[in-house]
Structure formats: structure tokens, C-alpha cells
Chains A and B, each alone.
Chain A
Amino acid sequence: MKEAIIRIQSIEFENFKNIQKGNIELASYRQKSYYNGRAEVVGIYGQNGSGKTAVIEAYRLFKLVASGEGLPEEIGNYIYELEDEAKLKFVFYIERKEEKYLVYYEFAIRKKENQVELSSEKLLYSDICENSKRKKIVEYNIDNTDTPFLPKVRYNEIIKNDKENEFNLEVIKRLSIKEKTSFIFNDEIREIFEKSSDGKYSNIISALKYFANVNLFVITNEHTAPISLNLIPFIFRMENDTTVTRGDIAIKLLGVSNIDKERYDIVIQIISQLNIVLSLIIPDLKLEINNLGNELSKNAEELIKIELMSTKKDIKIPLKYESEGIKKIISILSTLIAMFNNPAICLMVDEIDAGIYEYLLGELLKIIEQRGKGQFVFTSHNLRALEMLNKESLVFSTTNSKNRFIRITNIQNNNNLRNVYLRSIDLGGLNECIYEETNSFEIAHAFRKAGEYFGKE
């Protein structure tokens, strides 16, 4: 399904992290245009601790689950404190040749005896036309002992086609429970559906899986934290006629890294690609690799010793000494370029603004929105985006955990959304509170009292 284009449309949260209820619909979904060949940008804004990062985390979890990987270790922290089960509901648009669908995928995670299990999954689709009904492809529930999945008619169809599937499905289910992996996105499920049911179903499953695995990039602070720890992750995606290579390669910021020939070639390519854009974003800055020669590893593998340098007008310094912002830009730039050029790519970045100069951030966002092709979702505290992006591209988190996300609409065109937002923080006037009230006079007083805490001088 490499040729399919998948676009995220909406996400709904139930008891996920600090979101009891919340829902974000992209403008394309609300307008029922789904995909018009252009970039779609979503900026999520809000007070600290109001659920912005949870949006990015939800897609990270989707990426793991739909790629067929097990739930991550820290999964227990993903369920709203006072509840036992969290649910995420996603809507995607799939376009593949002449076929166009909306696909609905949801899954739940549940606390059980100090463990967290993937307790249910549901996959539905509908055609793109007015009043098209949703049709269920697979409904899976860990508690359902009658048949491994529903609807029964689909199960029966598959069993009828090949009696062995009865046993196979039972094994897959047990394995999914044990490994805490998705039932629906298990490779064998797709094969069974391919052989024994409507080919449409297996196409949808594999398209989603391919998207999760190859085209959805979720960059949380975990990715960028290594920058401070002397590593720079090159998050990349390279494509030629036959294959797509993607992943991240971590290179030491200070000192020498030993990498094999294959990764060396990738890094060389990434760096030439980055330099095309980099020197324009940060004038005259170029990235270079110092090749310090070959070396044999313990298991006789040939390794190349490299060192990352930045050059500015013939002055060469180790990349480590560049600012955090420059390192952050470098680490995500390759993916940003891929998303800019490819409508099938969705890039999500938590705290895009960290360390990036406000003006530059604003210009980059505008360029992506106006001329890009992919989907770009970010969280930020920097309000410049409110002046640069369409208001349809902006979502605001609220202080109400039962209605976590709102949009600010009905704004006159001559009104600056940034000012409207700041004013609403201070004076309210929206239907939901977007800011847990702070009293600046009280903060000023507290600063002074804190200074006197250990006794007045």
C-alpha cells in the first residue's frame, strides 16, 4: 500500500492521560474535503498541563499499536488517574487509486492486576458520499470468548473458507494478549483477510499499518532530549523507486562515532539534503562530516569513524557548540523536508518552538501551510503561529478535562488571533475557560515573600 495516501482527520479521547473527554477534528474533516492535495497544519496551544502533549502521545501510541508493536512500558501512565480504561478513536482518510474511504479505528487500554492490556479494538470504514453508513470490518474484545472477533458473519465467512483459520485466529488472539499487541494489525490477520475475505479489508488494514510504520512521524521530547546528552538523532525518511528507508540514527555530538558503511551512506545523503535548506534557514551554516578513516569492530565489521562539524564561512566547529535550537532544527529537518514534499507523510512534533527563534518559526510555519503537501501537527507555547496560520489550523486546550479542546471561531478578519487569545486568557469570554486563573499581583507578592523565606537581610 505504498501508493496509498492516508490523512489523519480526527481524534477523540476518553480518559487518556489528563483528558477525560476531548476531541479534535481537522478543518478538512469538518469541511468534508478530507484531502485536497495541500498541506494541513494543526497547532495546539494551551496552558502547561492542559493536554497538548497528550495529543502527540496518543498518535505515538497509535503508531506503536498499528505497527504491530507491544504497548510501551510506561503505558500505565496513559490512563486517566481515576479510571480503569482509556479509549482513543481515530478517523483517517484513505485514498488509493480510485478507492476513497474514511476509516475509523479505535482501541482501548485497560488496567488489570497491575498490568495494562490492549482490551479492545474496532475497525470500520465508510465510503465517501453523503449518508454512507459505517461498515464494521473487525471488532475485537479481549473479554469476548464466543468468537475471536466480531462481526460473526465475517468470522464465519473466514472459517468457511479455511477451517484451519478457526485455530489460527485463536492462536493470534492469545499471542496478542500475551505480547500486548494489536489483534487487527497482526500480520497474519491481514493475510487471513486477504485470502478469505473481501480484499478491500486487507488493503485497509495494510494501508493503515504502512502509514503507522513508515509515514507517521511522532517526535516527542524523548526524541530531542538526547541532544542535550551528547547525541543528535537524525530522524529521516528516504525514498527511491523501490524502497523507503526510515528511522533515526544517533550520532555523537562531541567526539567520534563509529558507524557501518550502510549507515554512513545514509548519513552522507541526509547531510547533503539538509544542507540545501539549512544554510538558508541559518545563513551560511552547513553541516559537514569529518571522515577519520576506517576501523574494524570486534566482530570484524568495517566501521567508519566520523565526526559532525558545522561550518560557517570557513570556520569549522564541532556541532556540539551550536545552540540547542540549531541542533533541534537539524535533528528534525530531514523529516520536515519529507513532510513538506509528500502528502502521505504526517509529522507530529511536541514543543516545536523550544529553542527556535520566534520569527524563524513563524516563517517556517507559513511556508509549510502555504506550500507544503503533508500534514503537520505541533504543540507550542510560542504565540507567533497565531499570527501566521489560518485560524482553522489552530486548536486550544481548555482547563476543563471533560472538554479539552476548542477552536476560536467567529473572529473578524482584522482581529489578530494572538491578541484575541491573550485577551481571552485574561478576561475570559469563551465558552470554555482556557486558562487556570493566575493573579499577577499575587505572583509578584509571592516572589518577594519567597525571597524573605530564609530571613530578611
Chain B
Amino acid sequence: MHSEKRVSILGKSKKIVLFIVEGITDEISLSLILSKIIEKDKIVKFKIINGDVTSEYGTKLSNILIKITDKIKEFIVKDIYKKTDIQNIIHLVDIDGAYIDGSLILQKDIDGFEYDTQNIYAKNVEDVRKRNEQKSGILNKLIGTDKVYTDLSYRIYFFSSNLEHVLHNNQKVSESQKNEYAQMFEDKFADEPYRFIEFINKVEIAVNGDYKDTWDFIKKDTNSLNRYTNFHICINDILLVTEGN
């Protein structure tokens, strides 16, 4: 009669791979694919931070790791997890030409910044220079960071010059078009998510080499304004151990 199974909490639970992204369109573009291709003992979660933490006002070398840790804490509290549930933190950033030479920033009578594969344009060139100085400095620190929140594995991957540029080969998707583009991308791989692995490994966008090599590459010349990513390293090394069909 005493056959009722007692269940302990000690069984093996899934580990979270937490993606830190700028906005909901990043999540729409990638979440469905990633949730389908990830190994069964892991689960994909997103923390949207609504903006670019590397370039936002007030981010300094001295506080960037605290800021990232706070975002992770927010995720843990809101979504009832424990810190130990998290296996990896994966930070996705748009590179936005952060590493180009200052001379390539040109004056143009426009609102905000404008990008092409050679130059960044803005009404006030100094604004872009300052932004690039802050952003590249912060990125350099994050590239060299492999643990955050004391002991969580951390990696940062770039989309150059931005996510839409890599996914759609369109550098100039406006804010209002982003949602539509994200949905298109979601649909494209919804039924065959493993095709995304091929896509992200395509020679014209996937930068060769290991993690450090790819970052060294993107820092050079105008590479940070051109269509490159090292996200394939994340897919190949962290999400997949066994190949899908």
C-alpha cells in the first residue's frame, strides 16, 4: 500500500543557457530556432535589456560587470530560478562600427547615426567618436571576461554591423521595420531550425578562427561596419555537442 513514490528534488534538471540581448526583435529572430536546436538537457532563455549596455550613458569599465550581473539577478528573481540553474551567459551585441578609425566618421545633416560599410555619419562627429571610444573600451573588457556574477561562464558574440545586417544582408533596417524582419527570419527557419546552423556558418559571414581570433579580426580596419559574425562559434561550441539532422 505504501507504494506512493516519494520524489526528491535531487533529480537532474535542465540547465539554462541565458542570452542577453538588446531588444525583443533579437529574441523573435533567434529564440525559436535556438530553442529547437539546443540539446535536450538545456533550455534557452532570453534576458532583454532594452538597449545597448555597452554604449549607454553611464556605463564605465568600472561598472559594466556589475551592470551585467544585475541583469542576470533580475532574470533569476523574476523567473524563479537559482543561479546554479544557469550554465552559460551568452551576450549578443551589435558592433555598430565601434572599432573604425575616427577619420571614417563623417559629418552629415541627419538625425541620429547612419552606417554604410565604410563610414558612420552623424550631425555631430564628436558624439560618434565618444560613443565608439566607450563602446570599444567596454567590449574589449568584456571580450577578456570569462566569468560574471563571480562564477558564471560568460561569452560575448558580435553581429556586424548589426543583427539585421548579418541575418538579412541589410545594414539599414529602420527601427519600425525591425519587427517585420525578425518575424521573417523566425518563419524562415521555423520548420527546419537545423538549416540555421548552415546559415550562420556561411563563409561570407562567419569569421574564421577561435573566439579571440574572431574578435581580433572584427577590430581591424572597417570590419566592424561589414557583414560578419562569430555567433557560429557559440552555436557550434555551446549549444550543440551532437549534430542535428
Question: Do residues A411 and B31 form an inter-chain contact, with CB atoms below 8 A?
Answer: no
Docked CA distance A442–B31 (Å)? 9
Chain B, Cβ-Cβ closest to A445? B32
Q: Is B190 part of the contact surface with A, judged by Cβ < 8 Å?
A: yes
Q: In this complex, what residue of B is CB-closest to A420?
A: B9
Interface string of A293-313 (1 = CB under 8 A from B): 000000000000000000000
The residues of A that contact B31 with a CB separation of less than 8 Å are: 441, 444
Give chain A nearest CB distance to B192 CB in angstroms: 14
Q: Bound state CA distance, A32 and B10, in angstroms?
A: 26
B2, B13, B35, B79: the one within 8 Å of A439 (CB): B35
A sample of 7 more A-B contacts (CB under 8 A), given A406-B7, A429-B13, is A10-B1, A23-B3, A410-B9, A410-B10, A439-B32, A439-B36, A441-B31
Interface residues of A in 431-449 (CB under 8 A from B): 431-432, 439, 441-442, 444-445, 448-449
What are the 10 closest A-B residue pairs judged by CB atoms, nearest first? A429-B13, A441-B31, A427-B13, A419-B80, A427-B14, A406-B7, A441-B32, A410-B8, A431-B7, A23-B4
A423 at the A/B interface (Cβ < 8 Å)?
yes
**Does A24 belong to the interface (CB within 8 Å)?**
yes
In the assembled complex, which residues on chain B have CB atoms less than 8 Å from the CB atom of A410?
A: 8-10
Q: Summarize A's interface: helix, strand, loop or mixed.
A: mixed
Is A30 on the interface with B (CB-CB < 8 A)?
yes
Pairwise interchain contact A442-B35, C-beta atoms closer than 8 A: yes
What's the least CB distance linking A94 to chain B, in Å?
17
Taking Cβ atoms with an 8 Å cutoff, the residues of B that contact A are: 1-16, 27-28, 31-32, 35-36, 43-44, 79-82, 85, 183, 186-187, 190
Question: Does B9 lie within 8 Å of A429, measured CB to CB?
Answer: yes
Q: How many residues of A contact B (CB 8 A)?
A: 34
26 A-B residue pairs with Cβ-Cβ distance under 8 Å, sorted by A, are A12-B1, A25-B1, A30-B2, A30-B4, A91-B1, A406-B6, A409-B7, A410-B9, A422-B80, A423-B81, A426-B81, A427-B16, A427-B43, A428-B12, A429-B13, A430-B9, A431-B5, A431-B7, A431-B11, A439-B36, A441-B27, A444-B32, A445-B32, A445-B186, A445-B187, A448-B183
What are the residues of chain A within 8 A of B27 when measuring CB–CB? 441
Interface status of A405 (Cβ within 8 A of chain B) = yes
A403 at interface by CB-CB < 8 Å:
yes
Interface string of A327-352 (1 = CB under 8 A from B): 00000000000000000000000000
Nearest residue, chain B, Cβ from A439: B35
Instruction: Indicate if A364 sits at the interface (CB-CB under 8 A).
Output: no
Contacts of B6 in A (CB 8 A): 406-407, 409
Residues in chain A near residue B12, CB distance under 8 A: 428-429
Query: How long is the Cα–Cα vector from A448 to B32 in the complex, in angstroms?
Result: 13
Contact residues in A for B82 (Cβ distance below 8 Å): 423
Give the distance in Å from the alpha carbon of A25 to the alpha carbon of B4 in the complex. Answer: 7
In whole angstroms, what is the CA distance A406 to B5 when docked? 6
Assess the B4–A430 pair: CB atoms within 8 A: no
CB pair B32 A409 closer than 8 Å? no
> B79: which A residues are within 8 A, CB to CB?
426
Q: A426-B43, A441-B35, A448-B183 are in contact. Are A407 and B81 (CB under 8 A)?
A: no
Specify which chain A residues have a CB less than 8 angstroms from the CB of B1 in the assembled complex.
Answer: 10, 12, 25, 91
Give Cα A444 to B12, complex, Å.
Answer: 28
- Asked if A168 is at the interface (CB within 8 A of a chain B CB), the reply is no
Q: Does A48 sit at the interface, judged by CB under 8 A?
A: no
Q: Please give the distance in Å from A150's CB to the nearest CB on chain B.
A: 21
- Residues of chain A lying within 8 A (CB to CB) of residue B190: 445
Q: Is A408's CB under 8 angstroms from B80's CB?
A: no
Q: Find out whether the CB atom of B5 lies under 8 angstroms from the CB atom of A411.
A: no
Contact among A10, A30, A431, A442 for B32, CB-based, below 8 A: A442
